[in-house]
């Protein structure tokens, strides 16, 4: 199993550009989530999904969209990038919401 | 609402010394508690978790944590530090019910440095 994969590893955007961060898992996990990691702030939940077709907002959802059309994939879309979205983004998956979450390697995003 | 506070953003120990990383939480429902470790430029890896069974939880790499409800604490310990333990450690809480059900809230992290 590849586990949780994320692409790209690094990305530089200009303010106002849009992009999609890709996340995929091959463990047949129902629960998937996106976090952003900023220095001194730990990880904060952006959006999550409890199964295909079901998504919900986390702690910091503004400026981000998600969809879950398959069990395997959970892309995160930045609609109009802002410098405040410069961060490291992690995708995670688990069998269910209360079980161990498996994290991807992260995407380091810089918005100039 | 739930929250996590990790006391000390940096902890430094000598190799072979006791490791103690502190975590206090608040939760309005019975909590599930986790410790994750992050090595440089990697994702997070689960060390251990508390899910309302035994209050003393053993994890990987010789780490353990004790759930103390009266102190709302879940401190992480290891009797003897190894150089390979140098990393950033995150405590996290998830509510076992209510609006916080299944949503992980992380502490700000503690960077552990191990000196030879």
Is pLDDT of B99 > 80? no
> Average per-residue pLDDT in chain A?
95
- Which residues from chain A sit within 8 angstroms of residue B45, using beta carbons? 103
According to DSSP, the residues that pair with A48 across neighbouring strands are A33, A56
Reported as a pLDDT band with limits 50, 70 and 90, residue B31 is confident
**Residues A92-111: tens digit of each pLDDT:** 999 988 888 999 999 999 99
| B46–A106 CB contact, under 8 Å | no
Q: Counting one residue from A and one from B, how many pairs have CB atoms under 8 Å apart?
A: 60
Q: For an interface test with A, give the residue of B1, B24, B44 to mutate (most A CBs within 10 A).
A: B44
Is pLDDT of A1 > 90? no
Those residues with Cβ within 8 angstroms of residue B53's Cβ, 6 or more apart along the chain or in another chain: none
Instruction: Over range B1-7, report the average pLDDT.
Output: 90
Q: How far apart are CA A88 and CA A43, in angstroms?
A: 9
Reported as a pLDDT band with limits 50, 70 and 90, residue A65 is very high
> Nearest CB to A101: which of B51, B104, B108?
B104
Percent of all residues in chain A with a pLDDT value above 90, rounded to a whole number: 90
* Angle, CA of B36, B38 and A47, to the nearest 5°: 70
| B94–A90 CB contact, under 8 Å | no
| B104–A33 CB contact, under 8 Å | yes
* Angle, CA of B77, A90 and A78, to the nearest 5°: 150
Instruction: Over range B82-111, report the average pLDDT.
Output: 88
What confidence score (pLDDT) does residue B54 get? 84
What confidence score (pLDDT) does residue A76 get? 98
Q: Tokens standing for B110?
A: 């503690």
Is pLDDT of B95 > 80? no
What confidence score (pLDDT) does residue B45 get? 94
- Which residues from chain B sit within 8 angstroms of residue A103, using beta carbons? 36, 43-45
| B103–A98 CB contact, under 8 Å | no
Is pLDDT of A69 > 80? yes
What confidence score (pLDDT) does residue B110 get? 97
Which range scores top for mean pLDDT: B51-60, B71-80, B101-110?
B71-80
> Average per-residue pLDDT in chain B?
92
Reported as a pLDDT band with limits 50, 70 and 90, residue B27 is confident
User: Cβ of A35: how many Cβ atoms within 10 Å?
Assistant: 26
Those residues with Cβ within 8 angstroms of residue B95's Cβ, 6 or more apart along the chain or in another chain: B2, B27, B28, B29, B30, B31, B32, B101, B102, B103
Nearest CA-CA distance, residue A38 and chain B, Å:
9
Nearest CA-CA distance, residue A42 and chain B, Å:
4
Reported as a pLDDT band with limits 50, 70 and 90, residue B41 is confident
Instruction: Over range B38-67, report the average pLDDT.
Output: 92
Identify the residue with better confidence: A20 or B97. A20
> Nearest CB to B90: which of A4, A33, A43?
A43
B39 inside 8 A of chain A by CB: no
């Amino acid at each position: 199993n590849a586990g949780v994969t994320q692409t790209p590893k690094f990305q530089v955007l200009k303010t106002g550009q849009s992009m999609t961060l890709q996340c995929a898992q091959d463990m047949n996990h129902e629960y998937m989530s996106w976090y952003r990691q900023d220095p001194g702030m730990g990880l904060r939940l952006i959006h999550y999904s409890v199964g295909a077709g079901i998504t919900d907002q986390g702690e910091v959802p503004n400026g981000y969209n998600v969809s879950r059309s398959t069990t395997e994939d959970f892309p995160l879309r930045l609609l109009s990038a802002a410098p405040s979205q410069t961060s490291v983004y992690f995708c995670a998956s688990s069998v269910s919401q209360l079980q161990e979450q498996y994290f991807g390697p992260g995407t380091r995003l810089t918005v100039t | 609402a739930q929250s996590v506070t990790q006391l000390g953003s940096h902890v430094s120990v000598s190799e072979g010394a006791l490791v103690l990383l502190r975590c206090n939480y608040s939760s309005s429902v019975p909590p599930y508690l986790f410790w994750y470790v992050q090595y440089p430029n990697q994702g997070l890896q689960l060390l251990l978790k508390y899910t309302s069974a035994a209050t003393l939880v053993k994890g990987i790499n010789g780490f353990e944590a004790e759930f103390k409800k009266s102190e709302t604490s879940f401190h992480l310990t290891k009797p003897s530090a190894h150089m390979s333990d140098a990393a950033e450690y995150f405590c996290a809480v998830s509510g076992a019910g209510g609006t916080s059900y299944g949503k992980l809230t992380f502490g700000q992290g503690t960077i552990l440095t191990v000196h030879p």
